[in-house]
Structure formats: structure tokens, C-alpha cells
Amino acid sequence: MSTYKIEVIIRNKKVARDPEGETIYKELIGRSSYASEIKGIRSGKWLLFEVEADSLETALKDVEKLCKDLRIFNPVVHEMEVRPYQGGSA
């Protein structure tokens, strides 16, 4: 068994409103010197799992199943991406 770092990215679907992203865009970006460059913001959630499994594929499947079974995200308004951790030393 090995330990794998698996990241989960949860985003609002394009058809779903994103009040947090809208507020950041309107209240922070819109009032800053970046307003002419930034055309929109969508917010999301990032989770990092450390999983002990026989293979990377098993770790990915286990995390995806866990997220679905425990309703870590709402499939009606969110999309989820499960992938090997691509960052540095988290």
C-alpha cells in the first residue's frame, strides 16, 4: 500500500448562480485597478485527501465514491473533478 494525495475541485456549474464569485467581482475587482482586465470570476472549493491505497487508480475511485456517497458536493449545482494532486508540498 502507498499513500497518494488526491485533490478534489468543486465548481458551480455554468448554469448555476455563483453569489460568492459575483460578490468578489463586483465589490473587490470592480472597485480596483484590475476592473478593465478581469471579465468574470467563478468561485469553488478545493479539497486535498491523503489516501492509502494499492494504486493511484484505486485512490482516485475511492475519493470520488466518498464525495458522492457523503454528498461533499451537490450534483445539481456543482461539478466535481477528482485528480492526482498537482501542487507542491501541501
Distance CA 39, CA 21 (A): 12
Q: How far apart are CA 65 and CA 19, in angstroms?
A: 28
**Model confidence pLDDT, tens digit, residues 2-33:** 999 999 999 999 999 999 999 999 999 988 99
79 with 9: CB under 8 angstroms? no
Q: Using CA atoms, how far apart are residues 39 and 44, in angstroms rounded to an integer?
A: 17
Q: What are phi and psi of 72, to 5 degrees?
A: -65, -25
Q: Model pTM?
A: 0.82
Q: What are phi and psi of 66, to 5 degrees?
A: -60, -50
Domains of the chain by residue range = 2-84
Q: What is the pLDDT of residue 53?
A: 97
Q: Is the pLDDT of residue 88 over 60?
A: yes
Average confidence (pLDDT) over 33-60: 95
Architecture of domain 2-84: 2-Layer Sandwich (3.30)
